[in-house]
């Protein structure tokens, strides 16, 4: 190991004689040569491994030279008071003898360590290494939260400007949609952007409005000829610019175009007819819907009437039950009356023979049959105890 490294602030206090003439650092395990020059022990061995080694002080060959350890100087050097090499703003404030400096340096929390991220060459103080590796280092691996693409902290911002899943604003309708769907969204034939310009605007169509799909379809149908003519002018202008002669096939293409236009006119007529029929169907559906609503209202009224009738029915049932109860009680009354009539008849039948046997003096006291009968009936209990002599 070469000599001791010391902080710049400590250099001034160290005598020149204490520096190794080979490595330029403070002598480590100092050895002295006969010429008086001092070297680190390992530095001298390293020098002697080369061809024709010579002393830096006197130029003498070191090939078979005798050297001896300078114990006094070694002790002197190890007792130098030095500061930690990792000195600086907010860094280590360790001070101590040089003999302890190596041990401290191995555990110093400000010792510089290489960043572990792939591609980073920074040396970071040990106490800040984790923060650097995970929060600050441009080479720290991260994943795009929108598309899971592997990126680094340094490349992520750039990636987000092109990431296919990041929301981007449609320039015509202002809606935010994933960037990779923007092209489909604004597609003139199938896109669902509600504010699309005519795709022939760039070729000279002056239609100023932004349209939804239905409006654009109508515009494309209505302005088919105009759009084709715009393209035709463009092609001709291009050809003129390039000095090209009209191609022999152009006539054929023109005819084909004309045929296509005629066919398209037919389609347009058919489409218009269908639109009209659709509109008529729409009216029919609307009328039927109105009828349905009216029927619904009437059903509501009928429901109300049914509910009222149910209530009435319940009340009538209650009345009927009361009447039945009264009828039952009248039957009981009739039965009781019949029983009493029966009893009266039986009584009368039993009284008649008794009356015939009644004493004559008592008969004279009565004025009529009816009176006698009444008198007897009040004494039914007594008469029944009299022996029946008539029988
Ligand atoms: Zn040295
Ligand atoms: Zn020498
Ligand atoms: Zn330190
Ligand atoms: Zn790093
Ligand atoms: Zn992404
Ligand atoms: Zn849009
Ligand atoms: Zn247009």
What is the per-residue pLDDT across 279-318, written as a single tens digit (0 to 9) for each? 889 899 999 999 999 999 999 999 999 999 999 999 999 9
SS3 (DSSP) at 145: coil
What is the average per-residue pLDDT within 254-271? 80
Compute the distance from residue 110 Cα to the ligand 4 centre, in Å.
16
Would the pTM count as exceeding 0.85? Answer: no
Torsion of CA 112, 117, 122, 125, to 10 degrees: -30
Contact 38, 20 (CB under 8 A): yes
Mean pLDDT of the chain: 87
Compute the distance from residue 217 Cα to the ligand 6 centre, in Å.
16
> What is the structure's pLDDT at 390?
41
Handedness of CA 145, 147, 148, 151 (dihedral sign): negative
Residues with Cβ–ion distance below 5 A, ligand 6: 170, 173, 193
> What is the structure's pLDDT at 1?
84
> What is the structure's pLDDT at 165?
94
Ligand nearest the Cα atom of residue 159 = 5
Compute the distance from residue 15 Cα to the ligand 1 centre, in Å.
15
Ligand nearest the Cα atom of residue 2 = 1
What is the average per-residue pLDDT within 203-209? 88
Kindly give, in sequence order, each residue whose CB lies less than 8 Å from that of residue 357, ignoring residues fewer than 6 positions away.
389, 390
Compute the distance from residue 197 Cα to the ligand 6 centre, in Å.
10
Q: What backbone torsions phi and psi does residue 250 show, to the nearest 5 degrees?
A: -60, -40
Is residue 41 scored above 90 in pLDDT?
Answer: yes
What percentage of the chain carries pLDDT values higher than 70? 88
Question: Which of 100-109, 260-269, 280-289, 358-367 is predicted with the least confidence, judged by mean pLDDT?
Answer: 358-367
Give how far Cα 337 sits from Cα of 326, 329, 344, Å. 16, 12, 10
Kindly give, in sequence order, each residue whose CB lies less than 8 Å from that of residue 348, ignoring residues fewer than 6 positions away.
373
What is the average per-residue pLDDT within 142-158? 95
Any alpha helices (H) in the chain, and if so which ranges?
8-11, 41-49, 71-78, 98-107, 129-131, 153-160, 182-185, 213-222, 224-242, 248-356, 360-364, 369-378, 380-385
Contact 170, 193 (CB under 8 A): yes
- Chain-centre distance for alpha carbon 136: 30
Compute the distance from residue 172 Cα to the ligand 6 centre, in Å.
5
Compute the distance from residue 8 Cα to the ligand 5 centre, in Å.
49
Compute the distance from residue 133 Cα to the ligand 4 centre, in Å.
5
**Other Cβ atoms closer than 10 A to 98:** 19
What is the average per-residue pLDDT within 236-256? 75
Q: What backbone torsions phi and psi does residue 324 show, to the nearest 5 degrees?
A: -60, -40
Long-range CB contact pairs, 260-268, < 8 A, 24+: 261/224, 261/225, 261/228, 264/224, 268/221, 268/224
Compute the distance from residue 87 Cα to the ligand 1 centre, in Å.
23
Compute the distance from residue 16 Cα to the ligand 1 centre, in Å.
13
More confident residue, 378 or 281: 281
Kindly give, in sequence order, each residue whose CB lies less than 8 Å from that of residue 139, ignoring residues fewer than 6 positions away.
115, 117, 118, 119, 120, 152, 153, 154
Is residue 374 scored above 60 in pLDDT?
Answer: no
Ligand nearest the Cα atom of residue 132 = 4
Compute the distance from residue 44 Cα to the ligand 1 centre, in Å.
7
* Helices H / strands E in the chain, number of each: 13, 11
Condensed to tens digits (0 to 9), the pLDDT of residues 82-110 reads 999 988 767 898 999 999 999 999 999 99
Compute the distance from residue 225 Cα to the ligand 6 centre, in Å.
27
Radius of gyration for the chain, computed over Cα atoms and rounded to the nearest angstrom:
64
> What is the structure's pLDDT at 87?
83
Condensed to tens digits (0 to 9), the pLDDT of residues 108-119 reads 999 999 999 999
> What is the structure's pLDDT at 368?
55
């Amino acid at each position: 190991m070469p000599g001791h490294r010391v902080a710049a602030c400590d250099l001034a206090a160290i005598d020149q004689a204490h520096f190794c003439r080979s490595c330029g650092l403070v002598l480590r395990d100092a050895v002295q040569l006969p010429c008086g020059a001092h070297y680190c022990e390992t530095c001298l061995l390293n020098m002697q491994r080369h061809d024709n080694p010579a002393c830096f002080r006197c130029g003498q060959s070191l090939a078979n030279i005798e050297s001896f350890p300078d114990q006094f100087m070694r002790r002197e050097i190890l007792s130098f008071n030095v500061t930690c090499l990792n000195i600086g703003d907010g860094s280590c404030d360790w001070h101590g003898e040089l003999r302890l400096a190596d041990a401290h340096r191995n555990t110093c929390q400000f010792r510089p360590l290489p960043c572990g991220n792939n591609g980073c060459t920074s040396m970071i103080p040990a106490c800040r290494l984790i923060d650097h590796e995970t929060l600050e280092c441009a080479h720290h691996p991260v994943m795009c939260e929108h598309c899971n693409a592997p990126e680094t902290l340094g490349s992520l911002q750039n990636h987000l400007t092109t990431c296919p899943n990041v929301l981007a604003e449609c320039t015509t309708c202002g809606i935010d949609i994933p960037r990779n769907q923007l092209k489909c969204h604004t597609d003139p034939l199938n896109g669902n952007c509600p504010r699309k310009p005519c795709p022939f605007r760039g070729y000279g169509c002056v239609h100023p409005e932004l349209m939804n799909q239905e409006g654009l379809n109508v515009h494309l149908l209505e302005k088919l000829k105009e759009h084709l003519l715009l393209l035709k002018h463009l092609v001709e202008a291009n050809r003129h610019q390039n000095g090209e002669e009209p191609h022999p096939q152009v006539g054929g293409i023109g005819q084909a175009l004309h045929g296509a236009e005629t066919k398209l006119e037919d389609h347009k007529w058919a489409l218009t007819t269908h639109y009209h029929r659709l509109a008529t169907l729409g009216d029919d559906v609307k009328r039927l819907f109105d009828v349905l609503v009216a029927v619904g209202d009437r059903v509501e009224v009928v429901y109300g009437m049914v509910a009222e009738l149910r209530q009435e029915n319940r009340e009538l049932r209650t009345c009927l039950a009361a009447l039945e109860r009264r009828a039952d009680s009248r039957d009981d009354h009739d039965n009781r009356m019949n029983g009493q009539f029966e009893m009266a008849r039986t009584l009368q039948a039993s009284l008649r023979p008794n009356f015939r046997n009644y004493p004559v003096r008592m008969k004279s006291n009565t004025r009529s049959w009816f009176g006698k009968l009444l008198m007897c009936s009040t004494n039914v209990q007594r008469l029944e105890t009299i022996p029946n002599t008539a029988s």
